[in-house]
Every structure is written in structure tokens, then in C-alpha cells.
Amino acid sequence: RMNGKSELWDLFEKHFPVVVNELCTAPVDAGTEIQWSFDRIKDLLEYNVPQGKRTRGLTVVAAYKALAGENFNDESLNLALTMGWTVEILQASFLVADDLMDQSKTRRGQKCWYLKPTIGYQAVNDSMILESCVFTLLRNHCRGKAFYADLFDLFHKVILSTEMGQSLDMQASEQPTVDFSLFTEAKHAAIIKYKTAYYSFYLPVATAMYLVGIRDDECHTAACNILTKIGSLFQVQDDFLDCYGDPEVTGKIGTDIEDNKCSWLIIKAVQLASPEQTCALQENYAKKNPENVAVVKQIFNSLGLKSVFLKYEEDTYKSICDDVNNFQDSRIPHSVFLNLLKKIYKRKK
């Protein structure tokens, strides 16, 4: 039986090898030649999946337990743990591709997968393998159950949303010249909603909702509205930590300034900057040279963006708390939302 947070972490930790073993076992009729590919999946999973904060996967388990109440038994726990890792594997598939596209150096305190010897552009195929693992787990554990079609549909929709958000993010940053007129709050809101919020916050809770039989659109829409707001706060924090976070803590070195990203910081900077500062930002943003990056960071500092961010975080936190208090559906305890919000509020990584 699951009581504390550390116990949940331990149960989740112990379940990962079970999932890996399931995904790395070749079908009986597959033949010996393909076994090498299945052995490689083990490396792929063990390097890219379990190193993170596991917020998304643990949320599936915690939300399922909260929603199921007295009906939560050992079978429920087993399914919840598997579905939690399914969400974490999906996250890994996005990150493997994202790091290659952004030419990032580190992720979760280790070298990005594509930078490992012999990997390189194979990371594209590896990202697709990880996505296929998601649907293998769904099929193995949910086929024949009432919620299978809903979950299958949910994962497909969320994958498309995330890919569309990634596309918008890349489009904004792939311009040949720096054009701050493209960096609008509306565009940023769309990027973070589609690229991050749906899969990071709505997906884990929606998975738990379907597992307990909550499938009406009205409830899902109301929950999604709150969860995507939490997800948007999470991504603004990410934008902030990309510049101001400690790489020793975050496990990654930020590259948003060099990569010409439509990030919350640059949008705020352009809004607050004097004509001279805007000019300097224009000349130094999106350049790989550390000296250019330092100029941009200096302007961010002189505009007081740290305190602007802290106020934004505080105001958004209060606004989401109000939304949760106004949430009426008794099937979903407010703790499902508030525990997530508390987990990310004031986070440093």
C-alpha cells in the first residue's frame, strides 16, 4: 500500500525494469537477427527515460490513486505504474528529438543521446522507437478494456499537439535574421500550450481520469483549462531557468539566447527596453559567441527581469489557486491540481 511521497517514488523506481524487460523481449517469431535491435532498446530506455524529475509519471499514479479512492487496489497500482512510465517514455521521445534539433549539449546532467559515439542522427529513429514503445505498452495493458480507445486517442492527440508546438517553436527561431515582431505574447502562449502544457500536465491527469471512467468532455475541458495554465507557468519557469538557472541543479546548459528562441524573457525585455537597449538586443541576440550572450544577459539584468518573473510567478500561482477553488466537479479532488501546482511553484530545476 502506498502512503508517502518517497514510497511512491520507490514503487515507481522498482517498476521501471519491469517495463524495460517487457519492451526488450522480442516476439517469439521475430527471428534472431532482430534481437540486436531489441537489445539496443534497453540502452535507449535506460539512458533517456529514468533520469528526470519524473513529475509526469508520478502524477499519473498519484492522480489515479486520488480519483479511484477505495477502488484503488494492487491491480490498479500496477496499471498506474505502467501508465506512468508510458508517459515518461513519451517525454523521452520528445527530448531525444528536441535535443538534436536544438543542438543541445547536456540533458538531465548527462551528455545528450545524439552526442554519444555511434548515435548521431540515429537519434531521429530512436525518438520514433520510443514513441512506438508508448503504443506497445498501451496495447499490452489496456486492449480490451473500456478505456482503451479513449487513451489511444488521447496519446495520439497529445503527440500531434506537442509536435505542432515544437514546429511553431522552431519556426520562430529559424528565421535568418532576428525579428522581434515575431516574438509576441500570443505566439509564446501558443508555443507553450501546445509544446509543453498538454503533454506535461493534461496528459498525466487525463490518463488517470480515463482509467477511472471519467470520460465526459465537460469535465475534461474544465480540468484541461486548469492543467494547461499550470503547464504554461511551468514553461515560463523553464524559460527563466534557461538563463538564470544553475546548470549544476537543472542538469542542462541553456541555449535559448543563442538559438533565437521566442522565450518569455526576450518578450518581456523587448517590452521594457529603451530604443538603445532594443538595438543592442537586436545586434547580440541569436549569436553563438559568449560575448554576445553576455550582452543580452546584462540587458536582462538591467531591466530587472528577475523581479518581473517572480511577480509573474506569484500572480499566476494565485490565479490558478482561484481557478481550482472554483472547480465544481466532485469526482476530481482539488488536491489533484494543487499538489501539481505546489510541486512546480518556486522550482529551481
Same fold, 1-143 and 147-349: yes
Pairwise pLDDT comparison (56 vs 252), residue with the higher score:
56
For 147-349, CATH gives 1.10.600.10
Q: If pLDDT is split at 50, 70 and 90, which confidence band does 3 have?
A: low
Task: State which fold the 1-143 domain adopts.
Answer: Farnesyl Diphosphate Synthase (1.10.600)
Residues 153-172: pLDDT tens digits? 999 999 999 999 999 999 87
Pairwise pLDDT comparison (75 vs 26), residue with the higher score:
75
SS3 106: strand
Return mean pLDDT, the chain: 95
pLDDT above 90: percentage of residues in the chain: 89
Structural domain boundaries in the chain? 1-143, 147-349
Helical segments of the chain, H only: 5-23, 35-48, 55-68, 74-102, 122-142, 148-173, 185-192, 203-211, 217-244, 247-250, 264-272, 275-284, 290-302, 305-325, 334-344
pLDDT above 70: percentage of residues in the chain: 99
Q: If pLDDT is split at 50, 70 and 90, which confidence band does 174 have?
A: confident
- pLDDT at 4 (0 to 100): 63
